[in-house]
């Protein structure tokens, strides 16, 4: 049965959660235009953690004006700092999403109460993931985009013709808190560039309030930024290298972009903090022997030679850096909105080093729609 034909009593509530992201916003617009009789019954809500970026709040204000209806602002009643203390200063992670449970889901379920509810969720037809499944039997989730075959390009098309795409999609791939642990390395780098104050606050959580925990499994935010900058430099140096080859310019001074060297990183027992790094396994083993009162993990990583600092002050390095600086100035490439093309964010250009965490878990739909 199509979602628009579900049996509902006069007391059934129709709700649609807006996260400040593209998919939930497009769903609200889609239902308003395609199913006006449902739109008239719809209750819109936003669950505010108090840790969103200003662009999210600005976009929600635009949505409220466009829909010409109130968006209910829900919250847990306490800031993130309070809940962090409640959870013994344990920073949330992909495997311990207490932030989603406490600051998103509980306020939503309080808002719903025991009413009969149909919840409209913006998962698209081209996605392979499930939405939040409540333990409440009174909540019936429906997925209009899935049923009607709406895909990523369609979503951007709807937004382009109405309220526009949220500004943070210029450099970020999802909505959610500014310190979201699901952010990629490149997104942390751009948070530092676009919102240095928020990046600094994220570091303070690690350094002061996080009781030794980090946002990313592979290390501190300083470690994340180093890796992101290396990946960025390599990508654009590789691009310039290939352009030089195509133009018949001399590339003999530079290593082939495929050339790598091994680097041995010594991590603490949890694997969450880098203690030292060496160019050989023997040096790493010696470090461990000299600190035999502690437990360690030794991890080999491959470093692309073309990204090394020794190529900074070269023609290739200068030309690659000019590209990066232009991107920083412009903040993003233009977003494509047709049905078949991908979003041409700068993240689509930068080739990240493989990060095993990125594919282990996907964000809860509550934060990422």
pLDDT tens digits for 183-209? Answer: 999 999 999 999 999 999 999 999 887
Residues 252 and 157 in one domain: no
- What is the C-alpha end-to-end distance of the chain, expressed in Å? 24
Residues 165 and 219 in one domain: no
Residue 364 domain flag: no
Count structural domains, the chain: 2
Residues 193 and 295 in one domain: yes
Which of 35-39, 250-254, 277-281 shows the lowest per-residue confidence on average (mean pLDDT)? 277-281
Residues 36 and 161 in one domain: yes
Residues 95 and 200 in one domain: no
- Radius of gyration in angstroms for the set of CA atoms belonging to the chain, rounded to a whole number: 23
Average pLDDT of 74-87?
Answer: 95
- Please say if the pLDDT value at position 131 is more than 70: no
Structure token pair of residue 164: 């526009």
Residues 287 and 248 in one domain: yes
- Please say if the pLDDT value at position 328 is more than 70: yes
Residue 369 domain flag: no
Residues 104 and 251 in one domain: no
Which of 175-179, 206-210, 316-320, 345-349 shows the lowest per-residue confidence on average (mean pLDDT)? 345-349
Distances (CA, A) of 278 to 105, 175, 275, 287: 44, 37, 11, 9
Residues 195 and 334 in one domain: yes
Higher pLDDT, 135 or 338: 135
pLDDT reported for residue 127: 87
Residues 132 and 162 in one domain: yes
- Please say if the pLDDT value at position 130 is more than 70: no
CA distance 69 to 63: 9
Query: Residues near 158 by Cβ (< 8 Å), separated by ≥ 6?
Result: 26, 29, 30
Of 170, 200, 229, the domain-final residue: 170
CA distance 110 to 77: 12
346 falls in which pLDDT band (50, 70, 90)? very low
Of 146, 170, 194, the domain-final residue: 170
Average pLDDT of 160-170?
Answer: 90
CATH of the domain at 28: 3.40.50.620
Residues 195 and 336 in one domain: yes
Name the residue range of residue 78's domain. 12-170
CA distance 149 to 151: 6
Residue 1 domain flag: no
pLDDT reported for residue 132: 58
Length of the chain: 369
CA distance 47 to 185: 26
Residues 155 and 196 in one domain: no
CA-closest candidate to residue 357, choices 272, 268, 253: 272
Residue 289 domain flag: yes
pLDDT reported for residue 358: 40
- Please say if the pLDDT value at position 223 is more than 50: yes
Of 170, 197, 223, the domain-final residue: 170
Residue 342 domain flag: yes
145 falls in which pLDDT band (50, 70, 90)? very high
134 falls in which pLDDT band (50, 70, 90)? low
Cα–Cα–Cα angle for 59, 57, 55, nearest 5°?
A: 70
Residue 178 domain flag: no
What is 261-323 written as a DSSP string?
A: EEEEEEEETTS-SEEEEESSHHHHHHHHHHTTTS-EEEEEEEEEGGGSGGGTTSHHHHHHHHH
Residues 197 and 323 in one domain: yes
- Please say if the pLDDT value at position 343 is more than 50: no
Residue 2 domain flag: no
Beta partners for residue 73, in sequence order: 46
Residue 365 domain flag: no
- Please say if the pLDDT value at position 348 is more than 70: no
- Please say if the pLDDT value at position 72 is more than 50: yes
Query: Average pLDDT, whole number, for the chain?
Result: 85
Which of 104-113, 131-140, 357-366 shows the lowest per-residue confidence on average (mean pLDDT)? 357-366
pLDDT reported for residue 94: 85
6 falls in which pLDDT band (50, 70, 90)? confident
């Amino acid at each position: 049965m199509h979602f628009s034909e579900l049996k509902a009593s006069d007391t059934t509530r129709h709700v649609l959660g807006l996260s400040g992201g593209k998919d939930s916003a497009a769903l609200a617009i889609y239902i308003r235009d395609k199913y006006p009789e449902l739109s008239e019954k719809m209750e819109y809500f936003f669950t505010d953690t108090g840790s969103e970026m200003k662009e999210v709040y600005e976009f929600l204000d635009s949505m409220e004006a466009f829909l010409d209806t109130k968006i209910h602002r829900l919250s847990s009643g306490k800031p993130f700092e309070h809940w962090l203390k409640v959870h013994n200063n344990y920073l949330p992670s992909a495997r311990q999403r207490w932030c989603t449970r406490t600051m998103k889901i509980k306020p939503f379920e309080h808002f719903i109460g025991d009413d009969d509810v149909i919840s409209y969720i913006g998962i698209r037809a081209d996605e392979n993931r499930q939405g939040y499944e409540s333990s409440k039997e009174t909540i019936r989730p429906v997925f209009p985009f899935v049923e009607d075959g709406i895909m990523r390009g369609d979503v951007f098309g709807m937004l382009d013709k109405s309220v526009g795409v949220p500004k943070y999609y210029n450099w970020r791939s999802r909505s959610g808190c500014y310190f979201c642990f699901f952010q990629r390395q490149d997104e942390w780098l751009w948070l530092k560039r676009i919102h240095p104050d928020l990046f600094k606050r994220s570091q303070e959580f690690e350094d002061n309030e996080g009781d030794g925990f980090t946002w990313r499994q592979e290390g501190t935010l300083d470690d994340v930024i180093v890796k992101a900058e290396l990946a960025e430099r390599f990508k654009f140096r590789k691009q310039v290298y290939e352009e030089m080859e195509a133009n018949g310019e001399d590339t003999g001074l530079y290593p082939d972009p495929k050339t790598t060297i091994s680097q041995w990183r010594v991590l603490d027992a949890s694997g969450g903090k880098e203690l030292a790094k060496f160019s050989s396994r023997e040096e790493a083993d010696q470090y461990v022997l000299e600190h035999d009162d502690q437990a360690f993990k030794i991890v080999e990583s491959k470093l692309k030679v073309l990204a090394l600092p020794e190529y900074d002050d070269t023609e290739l390095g200068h030309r690659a850096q000019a590209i990066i600086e232009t991107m920083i100035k412009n903040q993003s490439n233009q977003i494509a909105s047709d049905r078949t093309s991908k979003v041409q964010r700068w993240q689509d250009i930068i080739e990240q080093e493989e990060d095993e965490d990125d594919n282990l878990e996907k964000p809860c739909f509550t934060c990422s729609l």
